[in-house]
A and B are shown apart, each in its own frame.
Chain A
Amino acid sequence: MAVVKVHHNNFFTMNTRLETVFWGRSKADCEVVLAKIKRTVLDLENILSSFIPHSETYILNKAGKKTNIHVSDYLFNVIKRCSEFKQKTLGYFDITFNRAFDTSPQENNSDRVSNNKFKDCNIIFNEKNKTLCFRNEKTTVDFGGIGKGLALEDVEKILNFYEIENAFISFGESTIITRGRHPHGEYWPFGISNLFKPKEIVYSFRCNNHSISTSATIQNVENLKELRHHIVDPKSGMLITTPKMISVKSESPVIAEVLSTALLAADPKTQHKIVSNFENNEIIEVIFNQDNSPVITKLN
């Protein structure tokens, strides 16, 4: 069997590590592509980050309370697109609902609701002037549930431009895209790990030109002494304590991220409605029993 030269690189961005794996191209080609990816993703982070003080999103969050704020076409269109996703997911994907606003153990679910943090967070769009205005002064936007998908969407364009046929790009191993195939198979074989037993594969996907995104109600618990819940139902404001995860295989990394986020909080009936609004995806829900054994349900 011919030796396959694999080119790996990575860099830190968007709170995690972006890893690139290419094969079938020269090292020089791969470095050119990596440089373009890095520049593009870091530029995007400088727009979408809620934490970088000079980012457009940071400035918008500071200034957009009941005031019309002019934003770039890119940010305007992204927020508009997110608003459409909010409708298609029946409100379960909502960039104005900060899932992470407080998941401290000191605050229980009733406190969270009574603290009035869960409010109507609509945004007023002015298409003509490309301005935005938050109806509620507590509103902010947070791209934590879609930013990596948006970045990978741009990465796909770069891979297409440079005619990269075989590639694997991972954003912290929770959102990935693939191109082509594994060097020794007809597809890229991915296994979703059991959150409680990471070496155990609970489900596998076959990918060519695809994306996979996984979200879970608890963090990877291999090294944690206790479960850490961090997902709040955007409809009720309640912390979701059922240990479960959603994995979505899609042709679009944005759709994969939106669905894995939205379906995590939705009840089964609503999940069905949401899934029916999106086509051509492979979606699984994994709920863990008390003995950490997985119960896998296909949602489409």
Chain B
Amino acid sequence: MLNKQSRREFLKISSTAAIAATVYPWVEIFGNNDSSKKPSDKVRLGFIGVGVRGATLLLNVKELSKETNVEIAAVCDDYPPNYDRAIELAENSKVKAFVNYHKLLEMKDLDGVIIATPLHEHTRIAVEAMEAGFHVFCEKAMARTLDDIKKMYDTHVSTGMILQIGHQRMFDPKYIKAIEMIKNGEIGKIGQIRAYWHRNNDWKRPLPKGKPELEHKINWRLYKKYSAGLITELASHQIQVANWILNNAPISVMGTGSIVYWKDGREVHDNVALIFSYDDGTQFVWDSMTSNRKYGCEEQIMGDKATMEIGSNKIFLENPPPAPGIRQMIHEMELGLFEIIPIGGATWIPETPVKYEGEYISDKYELNETLLQLEAFVNYIRKGKAPEQLTIEGYNASIWSILAEEAVDKGLKLTMPGKYIL
């Protein structure tokens, strides 16, 4: 969990980066005290959807409340076990609990809502919340259809309410450091980004005994009506990372998918491969499966000078720096000096396999990026607005997730229809 020392480290990163304003403007909030709401004013949040992810968000806000003036004011879930657990987790005798989200949105003393319902429910809740005057933090992906995504964005613009989508990597210090290094040219010209997310587990959650009618409610991620499966639940994160790195959105996507392993009646693919193309020729190749976890989750950013594996916090130089003696020799040669070149500190050691292990992108401290993004949301609420780029990142990641699903389903290479271009 975030502590003061590590938070200071994060603030140091975000405040010293010369390019922060253009590359990750949403991080500036941590060093910005300009606020329409005083820090002493309590930010009151309502949670709509407190399943596994929603409960995680709730616990993070509870942790945040120990050092920030924020309160879990309300919780809402129409599934009784989630409803009961949320009340218990909130540990706040004043927390109001609802089964129907409309009732929560009728509260007058909320500042914002956090939405972590199944994907297909995001739009109507988020739109109603913004229209009711609440700032919104919504889990990714934004919505189940292109039109719904656009509707959410348009409502954010027309109401002026904050719409932050839960792409927590945008607040992960190692990603921020990596982006900064990339923008400084340290990996050179990027030709390809490769990302993957491999798991070896069943997404199908067990149902309460004797309640088969809950299958779609509990396992909504497995059915096309509610989710695009791996694409909306996993790829959307890495599409956001690729867009962020390239400071661009794709121009086309194609892909394929199949159910190769979990043949249990689910409708979404358990095996997907996508290729996104950008206007400068860069390709973003993404794949995912759920019956092998050897390669795990990673983003590989391949430039002509280096490769970054951001998830592993590693950078692998194409041309590692020379050994000290060689470096000195090159330096002297370029200075016009003719000096003896020291060699022969015999380096022979019993041979064992070695390989270049790369270098670390950032210091190895770990921060809770989920908590950081929620802290940012609270701070944006105090300020009354968030950087527009924050919302656009979520928008593009979601639009291209849904387009990717369509490309897979139709077997076509798709571009973005003009009406969705911001």
Residues of A within 8 A of B (CB): 1, 3-6, 8-12, 14-17, 19, 21, 23, 49-52, 99-100, 103, 142, 144, 168, 170, 172-174, 176, 182-185, 188-193, 195, 198-199, 201, 204, 212, 214-216, 219-220, 222, 230, 245, 247
Contacts and interface: CB of A to CB of B under 8 A. Distances in A.
Given A8-B322, A17-B323, A173-B326, A189 B340 contact: yes
B344 A189 contact: no
Contacts of B344: 173-174, 190-193, 212, 214, 245, 247
Nearest to A101: B350
Contacts of B330: 6, 8, 21
Given A19-B326, A184-B337, A174 B351 contact: no
B317 to A, nearest CB: 10
A193 B345 contact: yes
Given A1-B336, A10-B320, A184-B338, A173 B349 contact: no
Interface residues of B, number: 31
23 contacts: A4-B334, A10-B319, A11-B320, A12-B355, A16-B347, A51-B352, A170-B326, A170-B343, A172-B347, A173-B326, A174-B343, A174-B347, A182-B338, A188-B341, A189-B339, A190-B342, A191-B343, A215-B346, A216-B346, A219-B349, A230-B349, A245-B344, A245-B346
B98 to A, nearest CB: 60
Given A4-B333, A9-B319, A173 B353 contact: no
B354 interface: yes
Given A19-B322, A198-B342, A6 B348 contact: no
B103 to A, nearest CB: 63
Interface in B398-421: none
A226 to B, nearest CB: 15
A6 B332 CA distance: 10
Contacts of A245: 344, 346
A20 B247 CA distance: 36
Contacts of A222: 345
Interface string B89-115: 000000000000000000000000000
Contacts of B346: 174, 195, 214-216, 219-220, 245
A220 B338 contact: no
Given A8-B322, A173-B325, A216 B350 contact: no
A21 B329 contact: yes
Contacts, number: 138
A50 B342 contact: no
Given A10-B320, A144-B351, A184-B333, 18 more contacts: A6-B333, A21-B326, A100-B350, A170-B323, A170-B343, A172-B347, A173-B343, A173-B344, A174-B344, A174-B348, A176-B343, A182-B333, A184-B336, A189-B340, A198-B345, A201-B340, A204-B340, A220-B347
Among B319, B338, B345, B356, find the residue whose CB has the most chain A CB atoms closer than 10 A.
Answer: B345
Contacts of A170: 323, 326, 343
Given A8-B322, A10-B320, A184-B336, A191 B341 contact: yes
A221 to B, nearest CB: 9
A131 to B, nearest CB: 26
Given A51-B353, A144-B351, A216-B348, A189 B338 contact: yes
A72 B32 CA distance: 69
Contacts of A9: 319
B305 to A, nearest CB: 12
A201 B342 contact: yes
Contacts of A184: 333, 336-338
Contact of A190 (B333, B334, B337, B340): B340
B351 A190 contact: no
Given A8-B322, A15-B354, A51-B351, A193 B342 contact: yes
Contacts of B334: 3-6
B326 to A, nearest CB: 5
A219 B347 CA distance: 6
Given A193-B345, A195-B345, A247-B344, A15 B329 contact: no
Contacts of A189: 338-341
B323 A190 contact: no
Nearest to A199: B342
Nearest to B325: A173
Nearest to B321: A10
Q: Which of B325, B346, B349 has the most CB of A within 10 A?
A: B346
